[in-house]
Every structure is written in structure tokens, then in C-alpha cells.
Amino acid sequence: MKLLIDECLHTSLRDIAHAAGYIADHVNYLGLGGLKDWELMLRILNDDYTFVTNNRSDFLSLHGKQRLHPGVIIVVPSVSPNLQQELFRAALRHIGNRDLTNTVVEVKYARSRVECSEYALPPTAE
């Protein structure tokens, strides 16, 4: 799995991903800052990135329109860099070395503890 971290999240998350053994890039370090979401989505798909963001609504919509995508990790809500780091570490522990194809992982605080959840996107037919 290869991660791309959105510009709305702190650049330190890239280093956390590297320390956990993941290949990771940050939008700012690739010169992609300021791209429109749909333009960034093209890069995500072309380079097979699992995308890490806190822009939940826009990227759920963009990923949901894809028949196949490499996954998305959403840090909810917008919090300070220290809290982003804590939530991101929890998400990485939750994921382990699993493939996130067509999967959304959301990580947030629930009653002062970290909670991870995941679901298929687009939803699978049952």
C-alpha cells in the first residue's frame, strides 16, 4: 500500500507512515498543493495511492464514483497536528498490512477515545 497525505493534514504524518513501514508521500512535497479535488483524484488513481484526508465529503463523493479505487483513510474531524498524529497512528495499527481496495477507514475520537471504522465504497451488493 502506498499512501498520499492531503495538504489539509500535517506533513509529519508522512514521517509517521515511513516509520511504520509504509511508502508515503505528502501532497505538499509533490508540488500538488492547490489542485482541485478532482485533479488530485486523477493522480490518486493513476499512481494507485490510498488517500489520507480529513476532507470527508468531497473525497467520499469522488471515491464513490469510481468502480475501483485504492482506498481512503479519513481523519475526522479537523484537529491539531498532535491529535492528527495520534489518530493516524491508530488508523495505521487498525489497517496493518491489509489491502484497502474499495474501502474507507475513518478514525475519530468517540467519548475521548480513538475509534476506527471501515466500510466498502462503493457499497457492495449483497
6-22 confidence digits (pLDDT tens) = 999 999 999 999 999 99
Q: Which three cell numbers stand for residue 15?
A: 514521517
Beta bridge partners of 94: none
Residue linked to cell 506533513? 11
The mean pLDDT value for 112-117 works out to 94
Q: What is the per-residue pLDDT across 72-86, written as a single tens digit (0 to 9) for each?
A: 999 988 889 999 999
Q: What is the pLDDT, as a whole number, of residue 83? A: 93
Q: What is the pLDDT, as a whole number, of residue 77? A: 81
Residue 126's pLDDT band (cuts 50, 70, 90): low
* E runs forming strands in the chain: 2-5, 23-26, 50-53, 72-75, 103-110, 113-120
Length reported for the chain? 126
Q: Give which of 37, 36, 11, 8 is closest to 24, Cα–Cα.
A: 11
Fold designation for 2-120: Rossmann fold (3.40.50)
In one letter, which amino acid is 20?
A
Q: What is the per-residue pLDDT across 32-57, written as a single tens digit (0 to 9) for each?
A: 999 999 999 999 999 999 999 999 98
Kindly give the interhelix angle for 37-46 and 56-64, rounded to the nearest 10 degrees: 50
Please state the pTM of the whole predicted model.
0.94
